[in-house]
């Protein structure tokens, strides 16, 4: 079963939504956008809305994007697909039309965004360094700085998030915030519990949201995919109280799949 005592967020009153209104956006503390020097954006697909929003709020941020599935051919193909879908839904589904229109705009900006101070690496994030792959420690080393707690880590790496947990802990002096999507929870709930327990030693959980593109496990009474936001304990002078909010939070969260109701998570 899911250890809901450990997965209940602490209260942080300055949360904002960064990135897409639907799938691809995350709820994070507002000060994260101003205090971090580096953004590690792992698992991008065709959506840089989070990275764009972050960089607009912090002009000095250096973003390193990593995704082994993204190639120039992939981006060209996806842009054609979303432009067509946007046109088809112009009259049929206004909400879907806006989603695809925004996607097309982001894809067009991809190459421009990852130039200059920002970099894109077509590599797979994992726990062992090898050809075509890269670890969290290697990425942290690319964030060349003598500062501490200066990295925001965003991850949507389709199951590899569990493999890199220890690597995150090994770099806890640099990683200040984490926004991560956790997958396949029903397949191995103990793995999810262990990951949460390990991160909870060094981070406060600030927000939780169920991704309704995935299933809801009635056996666990918990979504199969959740988005979690973490805050390094080194940034907080006094332990915050546990949140009494219900989730999703109406002013911040939106269903990832707008055609289905959001999943309720009750503590």
Q: What pLDDT does 82 receive? A: 76
pLDDT tens digits along 92-123: 777 777 777 777 777 888 888 998 889 999 99
Q: Which residues neighbour 94 within 8 Å (Cβ) at sequence distance 6 or greater?
A: none
Instruction: Calculate the average pLDDT of the chain.
Output: 92
Q: Where are the domains of the chain?
A: 4-69+116-235
pLDDT tens digits along 39-68: 999 999 888 999 999 999 999 999 999 999
Rounded to 5 degrees, φ, ψ at 218 are: -70, -30
| C-alpha dist (Å) from residue 68 to 76, 111, 243 | 16, 15, 37
Q: What pLDDT does 84 receive? A: 81
CATH no. for 4-69+116-235: 3.40.50
- Percent of the chain surpassing pLDDT 90: 70
Q: Which residues neighbour 87 within 8 Å (Cβ) at sequence distance 6 or greater?
A: none
pLDDT tens digits along 214-238: 999 999 999 999 999 999 999 999 9
The answer to whether 149 and 174 are in contact (CB under 8 A) is yes
Predicted TM-score of the model (pTM):
0.91
Work out the number of other CB atoms within 10 angstroms of the CB of residue 29: 19
Integer Cα distance of 209 and 263 in angstroms? 8
- Output the six-digit token pair for 92: 């049929």
């Amino acid at each position: 079963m899911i250890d809901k005592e450990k997965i209940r967020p602490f209260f942080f009153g300055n949360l904002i939504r960064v990135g897409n209104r639907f799938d691809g956006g995350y709820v994070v503390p507002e000060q994260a956008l101003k205090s971090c020097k580096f953004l590690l954006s792992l698992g991008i697909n065709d959506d840089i809305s989070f990275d764009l929003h972050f960089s607009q709020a912090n002009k000095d941020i250096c973003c390193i994007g990593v995704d082994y599935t993204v190639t120039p051919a992939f981006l060209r193909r996806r842009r054609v697909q979303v432009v067509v879908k946007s046109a088809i839904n112009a009259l049929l589904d206004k909400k879907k039309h806006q989603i695809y229109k925004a996607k097309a705009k982001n894809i067009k900006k991809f190459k421009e965004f990852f130039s200059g101070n920002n970099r894109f690496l077509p590599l797979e994030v994992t726990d062992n360094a090898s050809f075509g792959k890269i670890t969290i420690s290697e990425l942290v080393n690319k964030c060349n700085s003598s500062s501490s707690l200066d990295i925001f880590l965003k991850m949507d790496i389709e199951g590899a998030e569990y493999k890199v947990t220890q690597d995150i802990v090994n770099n806890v002096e640099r990683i200040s915030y984490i926004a991560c999507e956790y997958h396949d929870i029903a397949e191995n709930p103990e793995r999810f519990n262990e990951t949460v327990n390990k991160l909870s030693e060094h981070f406060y959980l600030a927000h939780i949201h169920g991704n309704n593109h995935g299933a809801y496990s009635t056996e666990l009474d918990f979504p199969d995919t959740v988005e979690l936001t973490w805050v390094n304990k080194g940034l907080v002078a006094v332990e915050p109280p546990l949140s009494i909010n219900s989730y999703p939070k109406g002013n911040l969260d939106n269903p990832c799949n707008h055609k289905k109701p959001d999943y309720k998570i009750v503590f």
